[in-house]
Structure 1
């Protein structure tokens, strides 16, 4: 029986995330760890800024001069600059690179069609697809948030079979992300058809951070009340040490 198959041990009241009898300080520490892990997984404040800046620059320039090419090139240039800064500082670049790809697709779409609103279309389609993925994986019993955060909490997929309370929390969080993103799409897609580029752009920029923060907050609430993650890496190290001793 492998470390990922073994039944979960009974939760110790001193363990972060224990539902009953937990020490207040330990519980606070567990919540702090959960909060830090969430911000790490989703890019933190810097990641949010890097997500907003290219679109904000595009809509600002387009509002002023109505020049699609200048607006698109400026947005792409600032995305590349943000990646360069991260590379120079030797920081993680996954969030910055995802921003570059999103902006690049938007630039290509807008340039191909000549319609400035199409700069936003790839990101809107991605948001819709992500909403469907969050809800679909929750229905299938493999919530996407669990797949994203499992490695961050060093539990991998142990929550699926060994930690039902944590699986339930991931499922609730994934549903929350899915429905929040669907609500965002319900606002943006009608504007894509009916509003002009500047109206769509400013609404889209204003909806970048608040829905994200709401989803992260709800995820934190669900996980803070869930059982502690099972550190499968520590278990494997312990088993390896035991085998060496034998």
Structure 2
């Protein structure tokens, strides 16, 4: 069976199991920090990230999400350890959402929607898609959705960070994480499928 673009996106994210396991260190940190102290929470989060990494390596699954996820947990834990504040565990992710929001928004404003640009680059296409109004509008729309999602994640989580609501930050990070990823990747998949149908096939290079 031919792999669909949506399947490829899920594989890169480690599958549904990978999406769920990516939320585990955040959930563990939130629960332990609420019930105990910062140091046990850091240890528990890094431990949970290590378990996920070892488990996925042992299963010979896609290791990129696991490795990147573990590195992300370590970076977040380092922020919290250095500052001594549980809320700083979430700070790297908050700034990442801001960066993504700026990239998505800017790409739409300059009429180079980043979702379309990346799709064309990955599939070896030229800029023909930009000269097809229906396709360009579709990529503009889905990139705008990603911008709104990124701005929402940043604004909500920064507000909770700024008001020292570390417990709710953990809930927001999980709730605005992989469930939204499933929705947005579905929209991206539908846009790509429409673009493939609307555009001629790229000529074979060999």
- TMscore range, shorter length: 0.7 to 0.9
Gaps of 5+ in 1: 1-28, 238-246
Shift of 1:194: 1.3
Distance in 2, matches of 1:173 and 1:42, equals 19
| Aligned: 1:57 with 2:28 | yes
* Alignment match, 1:7: none
Q: CA deviation at 1:192?
A: 0.7
8 A Cα contact 2:104 2:113, kept in partner = yes
1:51 Cα offset (Å):
1.9
Change beyond 3 A, Cα 1:173–1:99: same
Shift of 1:54: 0.8
Matches within 5 A, 1:26-45: 33-45=4-16
* SS in structure 2 of the partner of residue 83 of structure 1: helix
| 1:126 corresponding residue in structure 2 | 96
Whose helix proportion is higher, 1 or 2?
2
Is 1:180 matched with 2:154?
no
How far apart are the structure 1 equivalents of 2:152 and 2:76?
A: 22
1:1-246 maps to which residues of 2 (within 5 A)? Answer: 33-65=4-36, 67-150=37-120, 155-156=123-124, 158-161=125-128, 164=132, 165-228=134-197, 235-237=204-206
Q: What per-residue deviation string (whole Å, max 9, x for no partner) do you get for residues 160-200 of structure 1?
A: 23573545433322221111111122211111111432122
SS of residue in 2 equivalent to 1:132: helix
Tell me the matched-pair count.
203
Matched residue SS, 1:235: coil
Offset of residue 159 of structure 1: 4.9
Contact 2:157/2:169 (CA < 8 Å) preserved in 1?
yes
Partners of 2:107 and 2:114 within 8 A in 1: yes
Gaps of 5+ in 2: none
Distance 1:114 1:69 in 2: 9
Please provide the CA RMSD for this pair. Answer: 2.7
Compute the displacement of 1:127 (Å). Answer: 1.4
Deviation at 1:231, TM superposition (A): 6.1
Length-normalised TM-score, structure 1: 0.71
SS in 2 for 1:236: coil
1:192 to 1:131, Cα distance in 2 relative to 1, 3 A: same
Decide which structure has the larger Cα Rg and report it: 1
* TM-score for the superposition, normalised by structure 2: 0.83
